[in-house]
Amino acid sequence: MAKKKKKSKKSVKNNKNNNKHVKNKHVKNNIIIMQTIIIIVLAVILILKLTGVSLIEKSSAAEENQGENQATQTELQPNLLATINGEPVYLEDVSAVYNNIPIEQRTNTSLQESINIVVDNRLLIQDAKKKGFTATETEVDSYISVLLANNGIYIEQLENTLKSQGSSLEQFRENIKTTLLIQKEIDFITKDVAIPTAEEIRAFYDQNPESFAAPGSAQTRQIMLRTNQSNQAEKLEAIKAIAQELNATNFCELVSKHSDDLASIERCGEYNFQQGQLLPEYEQAVFSSEAGISKIIQTSLGFHIIEIKSVTQPRTQTFEEVQESIKNILILRNKQEALNAYLQTLRGQADIVSYIEQ
């Protein structure tokens, strides 16, 4: 039906599962979704937080040992990219991070970012061990149990998946130990960050109104007759005749019998959508009307009988709705700043030597 014009030839074929979901163009601005992101970020992004330092910079300690480093370069191991306080960083370490970046999200800085992640993680692990932090087998078991439960799989399925990826359960457990160790280190680094005040929370809300815009949404049903330049008069009479047949119980029957929108026939012509996803003229008709009415409209695809089941106009979420989410966002920001500062300190103290030609 009413997909945007560049896809009009296929109508709304790509909305085959529209009853279950329609992609939200404004999801990045939805503060409720941001609350979920906070949980993910605390578990992952903070672990892999970049400091913005350009690659493996030579630290002050490394500069002091420049002559010694040059002397040993003739004995470098294959694929050695750097050493961090004497610990080697190999190409495969960086590749493991880089290859986890979805192809469509990779940019010309992704390799640099992958190297930074490896360096930062290695520094955090070294510092955690100095503090005496460890990850026990019991903690690893608990982590795996939660993972299996959340994904509805058994340990055998996990093992098979790992094997298909060229890994093993033993290696997976070691990776979990590393993750838990880094998380303990981050928790320690960020444990004393400031909690945002009520004034700061309110100021964030007032200064970022676009972040709290909830787009309009609607649920409609439609019967569409596709037109071309030569049959518009004929199709207009046909759609009027179909409208005359409509009653309280036969909409689905008439959809199956008459509609040219093949993608929506199986769901009785129904579309659940948010503003900006369907044809402008279709949306104009829907969002300028009240729920419970039916009307005939014309779009670039043809004539439609639309039945408007529900309409929610766009609005701005209230402060009360989002203040807890804002608080969490500001806490996260404070944690990121604390982590960045700590990593900068670790880099400044570390003996980081790069064997990559700049």
Which of 229, 234, 304 is closest to 264 using CA atoms? 304
Burial class from Cβ neighbours inside 10 Å (0-12, 13-18, 19+) for residue 163 reads exposed
Per-residue pLDDT of the chain (358 residues; tens, 9 = 90+): 645 444 443 333 334 344 334 333 333 333 333 433 333 333 333 333 333 333 344 444 444 444 444 434 434 466 899 999 999 999 999 998 999 899 999 999 998 899 999 999 999 999 999 999 999 999 999 999 999 999 999 999 999 999 998 999 999 999 999 999 999 999 999 999 999 999 999 999 999 999 999 999 999 999 999 999 999 999 999 999 999 999 999 999 999 999 999 999 999 999 999 999 999 999 999 999 999 999 999 999 999 999 999 999 999 999 999 999 999 999 999 999 999 999 999 999 999 998 876 5
- Rounded to an integer, what distance in angstroms lies between the CA atom of residue 64 and that of residue 5? 64
Fold exhibited by the domain 5-29+216-313: Chitinase A; domain 3 (3.10.50)
Class of domain 46-197+325-354: mainly alpha
- Rounded to an integer, what distance in angstroms lies between the CA atom of residue 39 and that of residue 34? 9
pLDDT at residue 358 in the model = 53
pLDDT at residue 332 in the model = 96
Q: DSSP states of 283-309 as a string?
A: HHHHHTS-TT-EEEEE-SSEEEEEEEE
Count of all residues that appear for the chain in the document: 358
- Rounded to an integer, what distance in angstroms lies between the CA atom of residue 262 and that of residue 12? 8
Whether 98 contacts 114, CB under 8 Å = yes
pLDDT at residue 77 in the model = 65
Domain extents for the chain? 5-29+216-313, 46-197+325-354
- Rounded to an integer, what distance in angstroms lies between the CA atom of residue 123 and that of residue 116? 11
